Structure 1
Amino acid sequence: MRAAQVVDCGRPPVVSDREPPAATEGYVLVDVLAAPITPLDLLCATGTSYFGRPATPYVPGVQGVGRAGARVVWFPTSAGMAPGDGSMAERAAVPEADLVTLPASVDPVEVAALGLSAVAAHMALTWRGELAPGEQVIVLGAGGVVGQAAVQLARATGARRVIAGARSEAARARAEKAGADVVVALDTDDVGELAERFIAAADGPVDLVLDPLYGAPAAAAAKALGPHGRLVNLGSSASETCPIDSSTLRGRSLRLLGYTNNALTREQRAAAVTAIAEHAAGGTLTVAHEVAPLADVGAAWQRQAEGTAAGRIVLRP
């Protein structure tokens, strides 16, 4: 079969022929239909992640969508995090218990583009953030896949107003397309200035902040929260530290909550993937993405790493 392989850590994968996987006990062979290039794939392949340096060569791809018999399924892998191969190949061997059956009408590429990023948005909003109908939400990093999904999922959950924060002009356009009521430019690290923008964009005190950025944007958004407001952090693409002042936390009895997909049980993850797929099949959830053939994985990988792609790149074996 044809497969992408990381041969040297720190370099893009190359496509080569290799023996297809065998179906061992408890595993199912999946014909891969779509495999996204995600930030976790890029991180693991550097050889510098907290998972350690992966044994090479290996097939990357921590998730994918494929066909297992008559079923269209979403599946995860541990490629790059533990020994074994991932989804960027014509076929993958996946534990039966990890397969999530998708609606027959769903677009495999759409679900692959959404994937675990949309799962994070959904669970951070609902499970950790306890979003209730009628509440007001700020979504930071709203031009990214997590942020675009969060804007739409907050609306689907019943939020009365969704305020987006995004850094670049292109990201702000994606956030607006996702359906944010107003988009705030995150073009400065001045916490006071950003806070004024969020407060002006809000219709009264904000109830929940979804934060994949941290840093100055999170500190500013926290100032727009009302009493007992919640901030759920699920990333640090702006900074590993955040200048939230003590008086803001104590004066409003705010809750700062962390989120990671790694905390989910298999059952929680499957339920979240199912919910995401149903939204996608119903036309209420989509994110900016582009499709590339597996043969072009090297160039696609490089563009995703550089941030020059139009969105999440999904490979079609």
Structure 2
Amino acid sequence: MKETSRAVQFESFGGPATLNVREVPVPQTGPGQIRIRVTAAGLNPMDWYMTSDAETAARFGLSLPCGFGTDYAGIVDQVGDGVSGFVIGDRVYGGALSRAVADHVVVDVTGTIAVGGEAHRTPDGVDDRTAATLAIAGRTAAAALAVVHPAPGETVLIGGAGGGVGVFAVQLARIAGARVIGTGSAASADALRALGAEPVAYGDGLVDRIRALAPAGVDAVMDLHGTDTAQAARELGVPDRHITTIAAQVDGITPANGANAAPGALEEIADLVATGQLRVPIAATYPVGQIRRAVELQAGRHVHGKVVIDL
């Protein structure tokens, strides 16, 4: 085996221009760890947010030199002492905070995304590119749904419905039996309809457009972009307890965090994908050598679906 492998790294914090593909020593497992040969890594807004500047990075425990990306999928190629439940050749997916865009990642089999990394078996019927999109966005959508808890027949408004978390949230709400209205640009309307949402344009006049679509009112709201949809929800008379945000905090409204998703939520989502009940739109894929271009696209926040890096 080669003694070095590729990893995307920062030598200084900042935007996509500070990312570089470097040759690094191949990591080795310790007790209780497995090594994954990464085949695909999914991008999330948190990836570039965490590494935008030194102060923000420090809040997440990151220091230079620093890796990049959190979601991954691949194949176990080394197993450390004391590990049971995984063997070489197993297909796995999961998260490893700010180090997933690399040929190899080592994770603790009892770890978490933030501490030690994590691994889950990839179900048959789920390809690696799709599996590489699940950990952050899937858990965050599940956590948001758990806050507002829509019932069958209720109407749910989702702000930023075409984004990386939105594509999961829309479908999970539909599976729960809810009607979904999703905000987005005019260009995203067809993509939202394909997911099962009724599209509505964001921006000035949003409240009036929602009233026209849902004259009987809205029961629950997930703002997955900022605060505009949450504020519109209040104007529509939705109680704060039925509103949640993921990208901003609003006094009186409970935010959703993927780290607080219910145990097993991620595996349930993977099973829904495997059985064809939930699909993950892949907006674009890039080879690792085009990491800067991929992050620029993803950071623009106008992608309808997920961006994935192939390794």
Band of TM-score, shorter chain = 0.7 to 0.9
Cα distance, 1:216 vs structure 2: 3.2
Distance 2:160 2:193 in 1: 12
Q: Deviations over 1:246-278 (max 9, x none)?
A: xxxxxxxxx8322112334xxx35x12111211
**SS of equivalent residue, structure 1 residue 134:** coil
Q: What is the CA deviation profile of residues 254-312 of structure 1, one whole-angstrom value per residue up to 9, with x for unaligned ones? A: x8322112334xxx35x121112112222222234211111221222233223465642
Structure 2 segments unaligned to the other structure (5+ residues): 77-87, 111-117
Query: Shift of residue 133 of structure 1?
Result: 2.0
C-alpha distance in structure 2 between counterparts of 1:302 and 1:164, whole Å: 24
Q: 2:150 aligns with which of 120, 125, 131?
A: 131
Deviations 1:90-121 (A, max 9, x none): 11101112221121221111122343112211
- Whether 1:194 and 2:206 are equivalent positions in the alignment is yes
Q: 1:287 — aligned with what?
A: 281
Amino acid at match of 1:305: A
Aligned residues: 284
- Residue of structure 1 in register with 2:96 after alignment: 77
Deviations, residues 227-246 of structure 1 (Å, cap 9, x unaligned): 7871112223xxx668xxxx
Give 2:225's aligned amino acid.
L
CA distance in 1 between counterparts of 2:69 and 2:215 reads: 42
**2:41 matches 1:35:** yes
| Alpha-carbon distance, 1:195 to partner | 1.6
Alignment of 1:142-291 (within 5 A): 142-159=161-178, 161-166=179-184, 168-180=185-197, 182-188=198-204, 193-202=205-214, 204-225=216-237, 230-236=242-248, 256-264=253-261, 268=262, 271-283=264-276, 284-291=278-285
Q: Please, which moves more after superposition, 293-302 or 135-144?
A: 293-302
- Maintained 8 Å contact 2:72/2:93: yes
Distance 1:229 1:299 in 2: 40
Is 2:21 the counterpart of 1:19?
Answer: no
Moved more, 300-309 or 137-146: 300-309
**Cα RMSD (Å) of the superposition?**
2.4
Shift of 1:141: 0.8
% identity of equivalent residues: 27
Equivalent residue, structure 2, for 1:250: none
2:69 is matched with 61
- What is the TM-score with the length of structure 2 in the denominator? 0.82
- Residue 64 of structure 1: how far off its partner (Å): 0.9
Residue matched to 1:8: 12
Q: Distance in 2 between matches of 1:142 and 1:109?
A: 21
